[in-house]
Amino acid sequence: MSDTANLFIDWQSQFHTPPYQACDGLPISTGATIENLLDEAESCKPPITYTSVGSGSSAYLTSIDGVKSNQGGNGYYWVYFVNGIMPPVGFGAYELSDGDSVAWDYKHFSSGLRQVNQPDHPANK
């Protein structure tokens, strides 16, 4: 039996239709990174595509399904979370574990680039 991970993309309705997509049970192997998970996401319905620059710990995600980081200088960037927490490493270096849930959020830099469910998010103060 292979390990799996879940993927959730939140574009927000003003940037993408549909505004979100979930793709659960994507296969991962030992040592798989979030970059590898995104490669598997091309099998989602509909497929999820991405672009990036760099590799490994210096990989930087530049777009998901054509929605670019800081598109037109809008101040929105792609930020990823694993099980609700923002890891301290790039997505090309973070190694997944069986059952991990990865969420990519298109967030404005003023949000502090945190998920709303984190206690230090401005919405929870």
pLDDT in tens, 21-44: 999 999 999 999 999 999 999 999
The residue ranking higher by pLDDT, 7 or 110, is: 7
Q: With 90 as the cut, is the pLDDT of residue 52 above it?
A: yes
Which range, of 40-44, 48-52, 108-112, 119-123, averages the lowest pLDDT?
A: 119-123
Spans of all domains in the chain? 3-124
Q: Cα(107)–Cα(103) distance, rounded to whole angstroms?
A: 12
The residue ranking higher by pLDDT, 57 or 50, is: 50
The pLDDT value given to residue 1: 46
* Token digits of residue 45: 């319905």
CA 51 to chain centre: 12
The pLDDT value given to residue 125: 46
The pLDDT value given to residue 112: 65
Contacts of 14 (CB under 8 A, 6+ apart): none
Q: What percent of the chain has pLDDT over 70?
A: 88
- What is the dotted CATH code of the domain comprising 3-124? 2.170.130.30
Find where tokens 């990989």 sit: 59
pTM for the whole thing? 0.84
The pLDDT value given to residue 110: 79
